[in-house]
Structure 1
Amino acid sequence: MMALTHSIVSAAGVSLLLGTGNPLHLALAIAGSQLPDVDTSTSTIGQILFPISNWIEDRFPHRSVTHCFLATCALALVSVPVYFYADWKTWLCLPLGHLLSCFSDIFTKQGVQFFWPYPTWCISVSNPNRRLQTGGTGEYWVLAIATITLAVAIKLSGTGGPTAFVGTSLGLRSNATEIYQTNAASYHVYAQINGTFASDSSSADGRYFIVAGEGNEFIIYNKTGLWKTGTNLISSRLTAEVGQPASASIQLLQFDEEEFAITPVPDTLIFVTGTLTVDEPDSIKLTANPKQLEIAKLIGDKITFNYCPLEIAIKLLNGQYITGSLEAKIFSPKPDL
């Protein structure tokens, strides 16, 4: 019973503290939660690793050498290669799961020698009747609360974790930036905005797709156009939300005195940025919208695009022979707007 409780407590704690619902992270947390009990051959992990548990059991008291902070540090040190081959969250899950498991044992009747090799027992309360007992009613309550906490933590991990959730609820821009940076490569990310357009102070309230981040500001898009927050659109409140799984890739397009001949890709949204030299600049007619981001500018025989939707670029460059390069940002599938 205690092995299950340790697993859920550690998984919930890791998910909540690191803002993750990654199955690998949770599995590592659960593995870490079982390692302290390798010091007894009667535990589940002790039976699996019997030679090791038997050796430790003959030399150290239960809940001493494997239940201490020093053991957590040793696990963190041994796991350092994971930091270089994966990321810091993956590296931290195993030792953090171990630490949370050891900490939870402080609330049991026996307690733990958390500061081993000092033989001091760390126990939560002086009254033994108020401590948790394996298989007792108190443990079932802990298990139920930890299970609910794990479910909530996994749900919150989709929005960047508890801190991002709170920040989003308050409309903090820093949290919107964090959510975008964390999820933009693998998901559609949207901005829910309360604000006004800078040109005429009319309402800009609505939901926009985030095309790119520029510092603490965003390039945003809906079916009517593009804007840059802080410049074309002034937001009093901006929150970010994660949409469906998607990919965002960059492709470089090079042209050398050749006709512009690109066709849209089905179920994608593509924006192009860069400067091209055109052979017939007089035939290009640009229509500016003062409310929006300037997506195309013509100076002499050079046209510069700035997050211009591919469909608009195709219309402007139809029949032109061009030289130069464009960076195409491709979202697949197309976001829901």
Structure 2
Amino acid sequence: MRSITHALFATTATSLLLGTAEPTLLLTGALASQLPDVDTSRSIPGRILLPVSSWLEKRYPHRTITHSFLATGAIALVTLPVVIIASKLWQALILGYFCGWFADVFTKSGVAAFYPSAARLVIPGNPQLRLSTGSPAEYFVMAVLILVAIALLTINSNGGILRTFNSTLGIPSGAVEIVNSEGSQYLLMAQVYGRWAIAQQSVNEKFEVVRPLTQTDLLLKDSSGKRYRTGSSQNCQIIASRILIERSSPVRLQVQEMQLTEQVVAEVLAQYQNSMSERTYINGTLTVEDAEDLVVTTHADSFNTITLQHGREVGVVQLESASPAEVLSLLGDYYASGSLIIRTVEVL
């Protein structure tokens, strides 16, 4: 079997089994696939590593010791320190070496996979179906491997099979899964198809993802900053039939937690003003003193980021992804106690 066929087989297997499109890992797998043929000086690795290939060639027949589970295990042990630096690199190395010799089991002579046993592993049992080096059948296998590799690289570049499946179908629960896995790394946009819950008009718009709310619902915002619960539950302002998630830009998250004990809300938030931006979201619960005159306006057609429950002498305010401007406008002059989590998304 040709060297390029070995490389294609190893590259495809590395991309499939490691779920990666990382060039370094794919190249490692492809290069490692050439090493089993170091047992002959006529091969490319044999010519490069001539002292090693000459020594092996004199002592072992071709496709025996280097084409075996024994050699694969030995390579895995010798290169084990690589795991400390990069575990996936080590996996690609071992996988590439294994694929390099295992591909030869489909040739007419097979390999001594169970060395030191002389028994040869040959697949399939029918000799007429086995590959010959340079035959049309090998070129057909190469073409299939190229197509499969291209498909795998495309899928893995877009986040893997599960993400591609979810993105294609656009099911709201699948969109939530994508946001859960990628929301801390990328600014995500959602193309939403569905209808407005109240107006019953169709929706075909793009929104920025704020965060997941449930397993089926997302909190999204439009260009003006207005937020909407979007998904399949009855509480949504947008009932979505499809939600397609797209990556926009890499981001860095900053999360700060604060405790308030009868403090003026505006004075506390002023301490964090320098780190706040248009993508700063505040979550938490505050007990507000002297809240008799505190009024929170609610909207049926959008998500209410601030809700209020009145008690005898205090008001309990619930914040869900509220902006600093909203919090300051409503609660800035009040004394409050409770805990807040400030999450800021910084676009890189």
TM-score category, normalised to shorter length: 0.7 to 0.9
Question: Residue 128 of structure 2 aligns with which residue?
Answer: 127
Change in 2 beyond 3 A, CA 1:215/1:286: closer
Instruction: Specify the code of the residue in structure 1 equivalent to 2:133.
Output: Q
1:16-53 per-residue CA deviation (whole Å, 9 max, x = no partner) reads: 34331122321332233223223233333334444443
When normalised by structure 1's length, the TM-score is: 0.77
Question: Residue 7 of structure 2 aligns with which residue?
Answer: 7
Aligned 8 A contact 1:264 1:310 in 2? no
User: Which segment is superposed worse, 226-235 or 34-43?
Assistant: 226-235
Question: Residue 290 of structure 1 aligns with which residue?
Answer: 300
Change in 2 beyond 3 A, CA 1:190/1:69: farther
User: Which segment is superposed worse, 210-219 or 199-208?
Assistant: 199-208
Question: Residue 20 of structure 2 aligns with which residue?
Answer: 20
Change in 2 beyond 3 A, CA 1:73/1:267: farther
Pick one of 224, 227, 230 that aligns with 1:225: 227
* Pairwise CA distance, 1:81: 6.0
**Is 1:252 equivalent to 2:256 in the alignment?**
yes
1:2-29 per-residue CA deviation (whole Å, 9 max, x = no partner) reads: 3333223322332234331122321332
Cα distance in 2 for residues equivalent to 1:255 and 1:163: 40
Aligned 8 A contact 1:210 1:219 in 2? yes
Question: Residue 310 of structure 1 aligns with which residue?
Answer: 324
User: Which segment is superposed worse, 200-209 or 153-162?
Assistant: 200-209
Question: Residue 185 of structure 1 aligns with which residue?
Answer: 184
* Pairwise CA distance, 1:249: 1.1
Identity %: 29
Aligned 8 A contact 1:246 1:331 in 2? no
Instruction: Specify the code of the residue in structure 2 equivalent to 1:57.
Output: E
Change in 2 beyond 3 A, CA 1:226/1:167: closer
Question: Residue 281 of structure 2 aligns with which residue?
Answer: 271
When normalised by structure 2's length, the TM-score is: 0.75
* Pairwise CA distance, 1:126: 0.9
Q: CA RMSD in A?
A: 3.7
Aligned 8 A contact 2:280 2:343 in 1? yes
Instruction: Specify the code of the residue in structure 2 equivalent to 1:329.
Output: R
Aligned 8 A contact 2:192 2:206 in 1? yes
Work out which of the two has the higher radius of gyration on C-alpha atoms and give 1 or 2. Answer: 2
- Please list, as runs of the form range in 1=range in 2, the aligned pairs for 1:25-40 lying within 5 A after superposition: 25-40=25-40
Cα distance in 1 for residues equivalent to 2:163 and 2:132: 34
